[in-house]
């Protein structure tokens, strides 16, 4: 497990100091669409320059190295308890070595643990896989954009949102409108629909791990993603919330079955510094 621990430390370094190619490419493509000399264009240029500097100097792209969220697929026979301990060890080492900002604060004493570990910190989701390879996905989820997320229970009269995909669309637009520039747009939007609150928030997070360039396997949901992205960008909030054409880079939606009486929608907001990566072992 020692070698694996070092592998996870390197995963932390890679995720904290670089942007996935699909996200960087999307930012690059957004630049020519913004008016020359506008706050939107200059913000996008600064973001791209920051990405280059972080990659070259191996410094954290953003000072908020966020809540580390792990999605782990563990082959049968490998202990999940050992896996968790290895992740915690790697987290302590990465915090000192990368360095990461210590973000784990005790709610009662208000003390920062100093090493990014604590009760439920980092967030670790594990599931068993029949595949022989261990796969560890890591997302560093910034606090600003996490705060911008919203959970909805449909129907919702104030938005005219019924229990259908049009209702979901209204929720997504409302969440982005409420977020404005506070969560660092251009955003990546993850949406989860289903029967229970805890499940939809996780499902929305899962969507944030998808590549911007992938297509939803369900053609109706794929069309929904496309239309909603266009509409979000029509809101005019723009990069950094200072106006412009690029408010989001992608919308990704996942749907579970729901209860006849329940229709929960979670909208998870990812900032432009959307740090995610995978380690295959």
Partner 1 sequence: MVTPVALNLPLSDSDVSRLKAGDIVTLSGRLVTGRDRIHKYLAERPRKEEVPFDLSGTVLYHCGPVVKNTDGEFRAVAAGPTTSMRVDMYEAIVIREYGLRGIMGKGGMGEGTRRALKEYGCVYLHTVGGAAVYLAARIRKAVGVWKLEEFGPTEAMWLFEVEDFPAIVTMDSHGNDLHREVEEASFRRLSELIKKQ
- Only one of the segments 57-65, 70-78, 79-87, 200-208 lies at the binding site for partner 1 (rule: CB under 8 A); that segment is 57-65
Give backbone dihedrals phi and psi of 238, rounded to 5 degrees, phi first: 80, 170
State the minimum distance, in angstroms, from the CB of residue 40 to partner 1: 10
Q: Which CB, 99 or 125, lies closer to partner 1?
A: 99
Give backbone dihedrals phi and psi of 266, rounded to 5 degrees, phi first: -110, 135
In the list 28, 97, 182, 259, the residue contacting partner 1 (rule: CB under 8 A) is 182
115 counts as binding partner 1 under rule CB under 8 A:
no
State the minimum distance, in angstroms, from the CB of residue 4 to partner 1: 26
Instruction: Calculate ∠ Cα 280-98-82, nearest 5°.
Output: 45
State the minimum distance, in angstroms, from the CB of residue 185 to partner 1: 9
Total residues in contact with partner 1, by rule CB under 8 A: 55
SS3 content of the chain, % helix, strand, coil (to 5): 40, 20, 35
174 counts as binding partner 1 under rule CB under 8 A:
yes
The closest alpha carbon to 254, from 197, 212, 211, 208, belongs to: 208
75 counts as binding partner 1 under rule CB under 8 A:
no
In the list 82, 106, 114, 213, the residue contacting partner 1 (rule: CB under 8 A) is 114
Are 249 and 27 a contacting pair, CB within 8 Å?
yes
CA 281 – CA 267 distance, rounded (Å): 31
State the minimum distance, in angstroms, from the CB of residue 217 to partner 1: 25
In the list 37, 77, 132, 260, the residue contacting partner 1 (rule: CB under 8 A) is 37
Q: Which CB, 187 or 202, lies closer to partner 1?
A: 187
CA 94 – CA 251 distance, rounded (Å): 31
Q: Which CB, 75 or 144, lies closer to partner 1?
A: 144
SS3 219: helix
CA 66 – CA 276 distance, rounded (Å): 12
220 counts as binding partner 1 under rule CB under 8 A:
no
Other C-beta atoms closer than 10 Å to the C-beta of 198 total 10
Give backbone dihedrals phi and psi of 95, rounded to 5 degrees, phi first: -60, -40
Q: Which of residues 238-267 bind partner 1 (CB under 8 A)?
A: 238, 240-243
SS3 279: strand
The contact set with partner 1 (CB under 8 A) reads 37, 39, 42-43, 46-47, 49-50, 53-54, 57, 59-65, 99-103, 110, 112, 114, 142-144, 147, 159-160, 166, 170, 173-174, 177, 180-184, 231, 234-238, 240-243, 271-273
């Amino acid at each position: 497990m020692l070698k694996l621990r070092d592998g996870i430390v390197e995963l932390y370094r890679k995720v904290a100091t670089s942007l996935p190619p699909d996200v960087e490419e999307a930012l690059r493509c957004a630049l020519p669409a913004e008016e020359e000399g506008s706050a939107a264009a200059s913000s996008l240029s600064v973001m791209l320059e920051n990405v280059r500097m972080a990659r070259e100097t191996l410094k954290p792209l953003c000072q908020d190295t966020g809540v580390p969220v792990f999605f782990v697929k563990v082959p049968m026979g490998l202990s999940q308890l050992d896996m968790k301990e290895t992740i915690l060890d790697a987290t302590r080492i990465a915090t000192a070595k990368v360095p990461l900002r210590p973000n784990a604060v005790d709610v009662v004493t208000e003390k920062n643990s100093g090493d990014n570990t604590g009760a439920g910190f980092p967030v670790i989701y594990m599931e068993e896989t029949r595949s022989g390879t261990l796969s560890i996905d890591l997302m560093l989820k910034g606090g600003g954009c996490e705060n911008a997320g919203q959970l909805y229970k449909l129907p919702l009269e104030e938005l005219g949102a019924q229990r259908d995909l049009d209702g979901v669309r209204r929720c997504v637009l409302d969440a982005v409108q409420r977020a404005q520039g506070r969560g660092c747009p251009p955003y990546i939007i993850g949406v989860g629909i289903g029967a229970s609150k805890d499940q939809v928030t996780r499902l929305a997070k899962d969507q944030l791990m998808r590549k911007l360039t992938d297509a939803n396997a369900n053609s109706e949901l794929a069309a929904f993603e496309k239309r909603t992205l266009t509409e979000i960008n029509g809101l005019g909030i723009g990069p950094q919330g200072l106006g412009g054409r690029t408010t989001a880079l992608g919308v990704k939606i996942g749907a579970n079955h729901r209860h006849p009486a329940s229709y929960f929608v979670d909208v998870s907001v990812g900032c432009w510094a959307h740090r995610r990566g995978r380690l295959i072992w």
